[in-house]
Amino acid sequence: MSPAPRRRRSVIVVAGESDNDREVLQHLIPALYPRCPKVVTINDKIRLAPALLQLSPRIETLRDNARRKAESCGAELVGVVVHADLDKVSDQTYDQVRERITAQLKKALPCDSALALSAVEMESWLMLFPDAFPKVRRGWAMRPEDCRKDLTKVANPKEHLKKHLGKPPYRESDSPKIMAEAVKLGQVIARPPGNNRSFRDFADQLATWGK
């Protein structure tokens, strides 16, 4: 009797605006999605939020590149996560941008998809996990008042961290280490303490996968 064929493994492909943002998501996705298979990245420096009038060709390119990445891994493409910075505080346009991009992803992609649309930028998500910062640099500490803010309204989170976090100054390349430490601490959940709707929306979208 011949052995049963080996089941093809699965991958989730991550695309985004920078290497650091994609690496942050490689730590974040398995923490929020427990059934997560392997997470791989593609290097498309895709910018969707400023391109609402030219979404279709960009997302078609993303689809094709994600398929090729999965094929190169000898795996089935089961999910695509796309990161985009809103590049401004959350206001009435946030819902419009999120709905347009999400609808186009669902239409174009042959698998589950999720949009990591961070308002204003990925650093506002990192600020949900204040205990992770001193794990990366001993002299870092988020101010208590910052922990109570609506983090989608912090105009420039990256510069805010550089100014207020401590020494040495925060660098964008620190972001994956911070998220990795937050995951190690067990703090990365769909509803962490703190206030950032754009993070919650992403976590809620991941929770719908496979349903």
The answer to whether the bond into 168 is cis (omega within 30° of 0) is yes
Distance CA 119, CA 191 (A): 16
Sort 84 into a burial class: Cβ within 10 Å, 0-12 / 13-18 / 19+: buried
Task: Take residue 58 and report the two structure tokens written for it.
Answer: 């960009």
Q: Residue 100 in 3-state DSSP?
A: helix
pLDDT of residue 2: 44
Tell which residue, 43, 35, 120, 20, has the closest CA to residue 78. Answer: 35
Whether the CA torsion 110, 112, 15, 103 is positive or negative: it is positive
Tell me the per-residue pLDDT of 41-76, one tens digit each, with 9 for 90 and over. 998 766 665 555 577 888 898 999 999 999 999 999
Q: What is the pLDDT of residues 7-21, one digit of tens each?
A: 579 999 999 889 999
How many Cβ atoms sit within 10 Å of the Cβ of residue 163?
A: 11
- 210 or 155, greater pLDDT: 155
CA–CA separation, 133 and 159 (whole Å): 15
Q: Is the pLDDT of residue 34 over 70?
A: yes
Give residue 3's pLDDT band: very low, low, confident or very high (50, 70, 90): very low
Residue 5: band (very low, low, confident or very high) from pLDDT cuts 50, 70, 90: very low
CA 73 from chain center: how many Å? Answer: 22
pTM over 0.75: yes
The per-residue pLDDT for range 99-157, each reduced to its tens digit, is 999 999 999 999 999 999 999 999 999 999 999 999 999 999 999 999 999 999 999 99
